[in-house]
């Protein structure tokens, strides 16, 4: 009887603590010296990577094969450095991977600073520099391309900051206008684009481009933000709302309103700092003034 009472009391305190933390807007600083809030997952190393232990699986196709796996970051893809007295997450990009929070989060504001480095790696030597922030992550590591979890992606790519991608079978419904042709290298690719004034919603899994491109020049810091309330999310780049993601669902059609956060390594050197996650109960007034939700 005492054990049951103790359990019930503990659960009550935990729930009460969570609610109070939300009311107070509790903030968690995610980047520390030891990356103690995260675990590391490294995918399949490209065949050109040197200095790996004998027998390590390598391939030209980094989307399939045997990944390095959990907390086996033998190339130090993810590390923390000091820059002007600040802790900065350095991602070399040499191996595809994800730096994943140990905890899952719901109803929050994620604020983070980002900039590009100079190095690029195979298989994306001729492609745009690429990274990304995956949120509402769930399930097994490496479910998608042996690297990332099923999730929603806030795209972090040159000229494509804040775009939306469904990863591993998840789905959501941004408002979209007429498909537009975007030039990628020498090719034209037809893509959906978020349109806040449209009444049409994306009905299938796919890539949706941001409303505007608000990137800072190469090497300059960008302020990236994600606001999440239940299974709706707002992507903000340097103060501009560029994407609204509504009605997120899991791969099997259930409401997707919580999950881990995963920061990508995808063949480009990049840096993140001042990563802070703050609990919210609803979208702040400045967001609600700009966004009209279906519900």
Residue 295: what pLDDT? Answer: 54
Question: Is residue 126 predicted with pLDDT exceeding 60?
Answer: yes
Residue 4: what pLDDT? Answer: 45
Predicted TM-score of the model (pTM): 0.90
Q: What average pLDDT does this structure show over 140-157?
A: 98
Question: Is residue 294 predicted with pLDDT exceeding 70?
Answer: no
pLDDT band at 22 (very low <50, low <70, confident <90, very high): very low
Question: Is residue 234 predicted with pLDDT exceeding 60?
Answer: yes
pLDDT band at 191 (very low <50, low <70, confident <90, very high): confident
Question: Is residue 15 predicted with pLDDT exceeding 50?
Answer: no
Question: Is residue 179 predicted with pLDDT exceeding 90?
Answer: no
User: pLDDT averaged over the chain?
Assistant: 91
Q: What average pLDDT does this structure show over 92-100?
A: 98
Q: What average pLDDT does this structure show over 133-145?
A: 98
- Both tokens of residue 37? 């809030």
Q: What domains are defined for the chain?
A: 25-288 (2.60.120.560)
Residue 10: what pLDDT? Answer: 42
Residue 21: what pLDDT? Answer: 41
Q: What average pLDDT does this structure show over 188-208?
A: 88
Question: Is residue 131 predicted with pLDDT exceeding 70?
Answer: yes
How far is residue 278's CA from residue 190's CA, in Å, rounded to a whole number?
Answer: 36
Question: Is residue 11 predicted with pLDDT exceeding 50?
Answer: no
241-277 pLDDT, tens digit per residue, is: 999 999 999 999 999 999 999 999 999 999 999 999 9
pLDDT band at 185 (very low <50, low <70, confident <90, very high): low
């Amino acid at each position: 009887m005492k054990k049951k009472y103790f359990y019930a009391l503990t659960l009550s305190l935990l729930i009460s603590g969570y609610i109070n933390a939300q009311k107070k807007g509790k903030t968690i600083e995610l980047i520390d010296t030891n990356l103690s809030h995260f675990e590391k997952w490294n995918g399949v190393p490209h065949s050109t990577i040197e200095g790996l232990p004998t027998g390590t699986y390598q391939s030209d196709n980094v989307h399939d094969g045997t990944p390095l796996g959990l907390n086996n970051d033998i190339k130090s893809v993810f590390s923390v450095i000091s820059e002007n007295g600040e802790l900065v997450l350095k991602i070399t990009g040499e191996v595809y991977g994800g730096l994943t929070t140990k905890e899952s989060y719901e109803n929050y504001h994620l604020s983070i600073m980002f900039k590009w480095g100079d190095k690029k790696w195979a298989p994306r030597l001729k492609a745009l520099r690429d990274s990304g922030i995956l949120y509402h992550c769930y399930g097994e590591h490496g479910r998608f391309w042996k690297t990332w979890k099923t999730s929603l992606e806030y795209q972090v790519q040159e000229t494509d900051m804040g775009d939306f991608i469904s990863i591993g079978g998840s789905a959501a419904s941004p408002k979209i206008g007429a498909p537009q042709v975007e030039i990628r290298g020498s090719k034209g690719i037809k893509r959906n684009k978020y349109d806040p004034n449209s009444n049409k919603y994306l009905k299938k899994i796919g890539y949706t481009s941001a409303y505007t491109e608000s990137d800072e020049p190469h090497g300059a810091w960008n302020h990236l933000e994600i606001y999440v309330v239940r299974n709706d999310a707002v992507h903000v780049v340097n103060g501009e709302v560029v994407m609204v993601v509504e009605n997120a669902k899991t791969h099997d059609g259930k409401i997707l309103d919580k999950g881990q956060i995963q920061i990508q390594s995808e063949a480009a050197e990049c840096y993140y700092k001042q990563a802070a996650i703050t609990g919210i109960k609803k979208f702040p007034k400045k967001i609600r003034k700009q966004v009209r939700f279906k519900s």
